[in-house]
Chain A
Amino acid sequence: MSFIKVFLKVFTSITILLLIYFPIALVILFSLNDSIYFIFPFRGFTVKWYLKLLEDPSFLKSIFNSVVIALAVSAGSLSIGIPASFAFVRLRRNTLFIGFIMIPFIIPWLVIGVASLVFFYTIGIPLSILTVILSHIVYSIPLVVLIIAARLISLNPNYEKASMDLGANQIQTFINITFPLIYPSIAVSALITFLWSFDNFIITFFTIGSDITFPIWVWGSLRHPTNVPVITAASSIVIVVGSLIVYLMETYRIRRGLGVPLII
């Protein structure tokens, strides 16, 4: 028994360290190395890749665009998704409705990407940041609905009843009771859709046209080996900032009892 436990403990630790953290740590490490290759020994400490990065207008533009897209996707999918989650809770035994909302969530992203591409081309909308936003929201709606509906379902229906009983109408009840109680799930879904959209490559790839986002910038830069250190520097920034946001969000989520983190 204790042998199995020790074995599993070691196995878990090694997997997490070697498989998950090691590659990411390497990226950060080599972003400070004075060489264009990922090769030991170290050639020397430098921040020149970061300086070079800050002079790269396409990198700055890609980050800016990604943030704009992610903000728009987050706002758009929340304003559509919040009311839909209320409907989702009421219709949760209606397979047709559930299927209708969830299919964009369960099919491969590639399908959303190519369908959007063909659709926008056919009706003559030129590909741009706007089309990226529109296609991202397709996937974010069910994502938002899942997170908020889960919270709504777990909410005691007597809270709303008690509020109405004490004289609050539907709108007052929503403002004073329902919204504060589901607020954490709204905040979490706003962040998750933001992060997801910022990071998405597969759908963006088809709907971006000649514009640029951060993942598209990475994709483009990968073709030029001399760019490797610059990508390393950019990645390090995104890794550190992103991990911090995710860490704060997920600890908030566990503390608020919003269940296990689950996004894909």
Chain B
Amino acid sequence: MNLKKIVGRKLSITLLYSLPAVAYLILFFYIPLITIIIYSFWHGEPLYRITRIFTLENYVRFFTEKLSQNVFILTNLISIATFLVILIVAYPIAYFLARMTYGDVGLKIILLILIPLEMNYLIRIFAWRNILGENGLLNNLLMTFGLVEQPITIFFHSLYAIIIVVLHNALPYAIIPLYITIRSIPESLYQAAMDLGSNKLSVFFRVTLPLSMPGIAISFLFIYVPMMGEFAIPALVGGKTYMLGNFIVRQYLTIGNWPYASASTMSLVLVTLIVMFIVFKFLGVRRLYE
């Protein structure tokens, strides 16, 4: 009786505290989301012509049409390839910072990486444009030293440019989770493994790498999810590379088929949530071993 009263009071205070956030998110996030869900089931044509009849055609079209299929697959491939490149660069750095520096030196170096990156998203893309571009610094240097005759274009308006820019943008967000997980592996575990006769290489593959899987999984999410919705980087340095983000922007703003654009967006949301769910599930399984 008394207990119930207290639990009841605590619960109502909690509800009161969460009310503004819940109300705000319902009004400005969930209702907008529902709005595009509703749009996605309507019939639409270019130039903002919409017929309000229920249809699944937009989803069917998104998953069956060659163009959208290709864009979807390409975007996934780019995201995964970018992640792998970043992982190859970030892992050694995180390992170095976590295992070979003392105190908070590692944290300070991460800070050093982070400072120029917490802001200036477009500025950084802009900088890379001027380095990798046809009239950019790279070609300028290569031609000055006589290494090439003509400006090379492979790094400009290409897939490689996208990967380089994302590598630059996302590096700290891959390093941080890796640093935290590698740092949290107790030193005694390494000593025990060595003691049991593992050499350094096998300690790495049998202890460090498996135990840093949660960090790898989180870095993956930090890179994969934003990449799935990215449109500025491909638009500015990607040349003809056309990612899902560009596809959706074009459907909304240029072609003006909102129902189809909304169905594409919802497919993106769905896929992201599924991938996230799988990754977290996999993380949960890993925790059992720890």
Contacts and interface: CB of A to CB of B under 8 A. Distances in A.
A30 B135 CA distance: 14
A166 interface: no
B129 to A, nearest CB: 8
Contacts of A40: 137, 140-141, 144
Contacts of B137: 26, 38-40
A177 interface: no
Contacts of A24: 116, 120, 123-124, 127
A169 interface: no
Contacts of B89: 15, 19
A171 interface: no
- Is chain B's binding surface mostly helix, strand, loop or mixed? helix
Given A91-B18, A246-B115, A39 B229 contact: no
Contacts of A243: 115-116, 119
Given A80-B20, A141-B21, A11 B116 contact: no
Given A38-B136, A114-B36, A16 B109 contact: yes
A231 B119 contact: no
B252 interface: yes
Given A11-B93, A110-B265, A118-B32, A87 B17 contact: yes
Interface stretch (A44-52, A179-187, A214-222): A214-222
A146 interface: no
- Which interface class (under 10, 10 to 19, 20 to 34, 35 or more) fits B? 35 or more
Interface stretch (B64-72, B153-161, B166-174): B166-174
Contacts of A107: 225, 229, 269, 272-273
Interface residues of A, number: 84
A79 B20 CA distance: 9
Contact of A228 (B123, B130, B232): B130
Interface in B212-229: 221-222, 225-226, 228-229
A27 B128 CA distance: 10
Nearest to A231: B126
B113 A20 contact: yes
A197 to B, nearest CB: 11
Interface in B106-124: 107-124
A264 B229 CA distance: 14
B226 A247 contact: no
Nearest to A22: B131
Given A254-B111, A260-B176, A134 B28 contact: yes
Contact of B122 (A21, A106, A219, A242): A219
B261 interface: yes
A21 B117 CA distance: 10
Contacts of B180: 260
Nearest to B31: A119
A118 B35 contact: yes
B96 A117 contact: no
B268 interface: yes
A8 B91 CA distance: 10
A83 B57 CA distance: 43
Interface in A100-152: 100-101, 103-104, 106-112, 114-119, 122, 134-135, 137-138, 141, 145
Nearest to A90: B14
A264 to B, nearest CB: 6
A54 interface: no
Contacts of A118: 32, 35-36, 39, 252, 258, 262
A110 B245 contact: yes
B121 to A, nearest CB: 6
A256 to B, nearest CB: 13
Interface string B232-255: 100010000000010011001000
Given A83-B20, A90-B10, A246-B114, A110 B248 contact: yes
B206 interface: no
Contacts of B95: 8
Given A8-B96, A251-B111, A254-B108, A218 B124 contact: no
Contacts of A104: 25, 29
Contacts of B29: 103-104, 112, 115, 138
Given A87-B18, A137-B28, A109 B113 contact: no
Nearest to B221: A106
B92 interface: yes
Interface in A204-254: 205-206, 215, 218-219, 222, 228, 231, 235, 238-239, 242-243, 246-247, 250-251, 254
6 contacts: A24-B124, A91-B18, A111-B229, A195-B118, A260-B180, A264-B173
Interface of B: 10, 14-18, 20-22, 24-25, 28-29, 31-33, 35-36, 39, 89, 92-93, 95-97, 100, 104, 107-124, 126-131, 133, 135-137, 140-141, 144, 167-168, 171, 173, 176, 179-180, 200, 221-222, 225-226, 228-232, 236, 245, 248-249, 252, 258, 261-262, 265, 268-269, 272-273, 276
